[in-house]
């Protein structure tokens, strides 16, 4: 018997509900805590940290915060979390793309400098961030973890062990914040120049092509955790892997290249503004030099007769 189709519900051929609602209170607490801390910082701490009359959080930062928090919630809660961890690897790949390449830069742009310095402090955390949020360490840490989390042992283990699963998510998201600090972080001393940012993101865009191509051209099921008989929406395990690979290879790469293009045009515009115009020769005009008289013409002709 084919799978029954019920509005809003996906069921297997035996009537098993494949994506029934599952509460995730840990996600709700995380999102609520982020919102509460940001609001408290903006309303209580911020006015003391900025000059009088200056808003502690700008309107654009508020907008970025709302967008970033919604992305965190949607990517971590039901049904995205449950489908991505139990049913379809393509959803899992889309979830990780949002949590590592989309959400972190948005939340960094939502963070004012005074708040970032307050969170990091002046002690050990500040020293570690200062060392690791440099282009080479951040690039190596993030991309090494990005390759590691696509290893079969890690993927299959994360699908069956909740604590290990959240540990993997925490590690890759933390490394993603390190990755984006040199590009759009709130601390000026950690940001690199725009040409360096373009080269930095170009190097980042190369790494996803390796596991992405592996998934696209792999024969058979790569991950046993997703090789299950009850297929959601009739998507085969091979198609699931191929689409996941395409998301990683083409989706993530295109996203990074769009950012590189934006950075290039902004850099080109800033360079054009700095180019000086043609030099203007100093010209001194006397009291009687601004009007040409016939006497001046006759005098010039007499001094320089025609040959």
Domain-located, residue 136: yes
pLDDT tens for the 307 residues of the chain, in order:
333 333 334 545 443 456 788 999 999 999 999 999 999 999 999 999 999 889 999 999 999 999 999 999 999 999 999 999 889 999 999 999 999 999 999 999 999 999 999 999 989 999 999 999 999 999 999 999 999 998 999 999 988 888 898 899 999 999 999 999 999 999 999 999 999 999 999 999 998 888 888 888 887 889 999 999 888 999 999 999 999 999 998 999 999 999 999 999 999 998 888 766 666 555 454 444 445 555 665 666 566 565 5
Domain-located, residue 285: no
User: Angle at the Cα of 222 (from 220 to 223), degrees rounded to 5?
Assistant: 130
Quote the pTM value. 0.82
Residue whose C-alpha is closest to residue 105's, from 206, 208, 261, 255: 255
Domain-located, residue 306: no
User: What is the average pLDDT score of the chain?
Assistant: 86
What is the three-class DSSP state of 25?
helix
Domain-located, residue 293: no
**Cα(49)–Cα(3) distance, rounded to whole angstroms?**
59
Task: Dump pLDDT digits (tens) for 272-302.
Answer: 887 666 665 554 544 444 455 556 656 665 6
pLDDT of residue 304: 59
Domain-located, residue 291: no
The contacts found for 88-94 with CB under 8 angstroms, 24 or more apart, are: 88/226, 88/232, 88/235, 88/240, 89/155, 89/223, 89/226, 89/240, 89/241, 89/244, 90/235, 90/240, 90/241, 90/243, 90/244, 90/247, 92/244, 93/244, 93/245, 93/247, 93/248, 94/247, 94/251
Number of compact structural domains in the chain: 1
Domain-located, residue 282: no
Domain-located, residue 279: no
Range of the domain at 134: 5-274
pLDDT of residue 8: 38
Domain-located, residue 280: no
């Amino acid at each position: 018997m084919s799978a029954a189709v019920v509005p809003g519900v996906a069921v297997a051929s035996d009537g098993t509900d494949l994506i029934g609602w599952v509460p995730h209170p840990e996600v709700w607490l995380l999102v609520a805590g982020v919102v509460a801390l940001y609001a408290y910082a903006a309303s209580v701490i911020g006015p003391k940290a900025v000059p009088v009359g200056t808003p502690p959080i700008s309107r654009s930062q508020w907008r970025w915060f709302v967008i970033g928090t919604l992305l965190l919630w949607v990517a971590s809660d039901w049904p995205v979390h449950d489908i991505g961890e139990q049913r379809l690897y393509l959803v899992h790949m889309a979830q990780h793309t949002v949590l590592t390449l989309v959400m972190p830069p948005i939340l960094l742009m939502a963070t004012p400098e005074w708040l970032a310095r307050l969170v990091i402090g002046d002690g050990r955390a500040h020293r570690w961030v200062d060392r690791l949020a440099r282009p080479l360490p951040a690039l190596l840490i993030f991309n090494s973890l990005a390759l590691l989390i696509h290893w079969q042992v890690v993927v299959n283990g994360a699908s069956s062990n909740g604590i290990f699963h959240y540990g993997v998510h925490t590690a890759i998201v933390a490394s993603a914040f390190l990755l984006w600090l040199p590009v759009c972080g709130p601390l000026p001393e950690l940001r690199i120049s725009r040409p360096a940012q373009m080269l930095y993101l170009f190097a980042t865009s190369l790494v996803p092509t390796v596991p992405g191509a592996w998934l696209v051209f792999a024969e058979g099921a790569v991950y046993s955790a997703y090789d299950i008989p009850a297929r959601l929406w009739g998507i085969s395990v091979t198609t699931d892997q191929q689409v996941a690979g395409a998301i990683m290879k083409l989706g993530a790469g295109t996203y990074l290249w769009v950012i590189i293009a934006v950075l290039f045009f902004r850099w080109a515009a800033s360079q054009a503004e700095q180019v000086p115009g043609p030099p203007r020769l100093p010209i001194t005009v006397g009291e009687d030099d601004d009007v040409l008289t016939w006497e001046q013409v006759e005098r010039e002709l007499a001094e320089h007769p025609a040959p």
